[in-house]
Amino acid sequence: MFDFTATAGLSKPELYRELLAAADALTAGESDAVANMANVAALLWEFLPDVNWTGFYRVVGDELVLGPFAGRPACIRIAMGKGVCGAAALQGETQLVPDVQAFPGHIACDGATESEIVVPVLRDGKVIAVIDCDSPVKARFDAEDAAGIEALAALLADRI
Ligand code: SME
């Protein structure tokens, strides 16, 4: 099993390389989408410092529906275009939100959340899910987090 204590002291790009390798090892050859999302939500939770929610919303019909996650129970359904997750799903682009209070329409599932990143998972050019990571620290996520989680989304495109 992966030794999570070995991630201490890694730079962000190194941390994401390790995370990607662990996600690849855990999901390779496994066709069950729920199992793969559950393991990746847990990996994000273990690897990333200062997070209070990590997980998935899946595109189901014309809305987003809660998927596997780590953290507190969250809102179940999000309309396309609503909140940070809905914006990422509608636009097909990563949303980097340093201050959730300043994001119009942010959906507050946990009052402790101060910043957030949401990355779409695209398959054949269509958004099939989003990866959402929340933090109780303002401006917790930056371009390196975006690059790392986008690489993870690309890996998962045909595994979830
Ligand atoms: N804050 C998100 C909703 C999902 S929860 O944070 C887990 C949003 O505005 O879309």
Question: What domains can be seen in the chain, in order of their start residue?
Answer: 12-156 (3.30.450.40)
CA of 133 to the centre of ligand 1 (A): 9
Ligand 1 binding site (Cβ under 6 Å of any ligand atom): 53, 74-75, 78, 83-86, 106-107, 109, 113, 116, 132, 134
- Residue 127 confidence (pLDDT): 98
Calculate the alpha carbon distances from 133 to 24, 32, 71, 101 in Å.
19, 22, 10, 16
CA angle 95, 30, 158 (to 5 degrees): 40
Is residue 39 within 8 A of residue 159, CB to CB? The reply is no
E strand map for 16-145: 53-60, 63-71, 77-79, 95-97, 115-123, 126-135
User: How many whole angstroms separate alpha carbon 142 and alpha carbon 139?
Assistant: 7
Index of the ligand 1 atom closest to the CA of residue 78: 10
CA of 29 to the centre of ligand 1 (A): 30
CA 83, chain centre distance (Å):
15
- Residue 109 confidence (pLDDT): 87
CA of 6 to the centre of ligand 1 (A): 30
- Residue 8 confidence (pLDDT): 80
Index of the ligand 1 atom closest to the CA of residue 107: 9
Per-residue pLDDT of the chain (160 residues; tens, 9 = 90+): 666 767 888 999 999 999 999 999 999 999 999 999 999 999 999 999 999 999 999 999 999 999 999 999 999 999 999 999 999 999 999 999 999 999 999 999 889 999 999 999 999 999 999 999 999 999 999 999 999 999 999 999 999 9
Take residue 74 and report the two structure tokens written for it.
């969250």
**For the whole model, what pTM was predicted?**
0.96
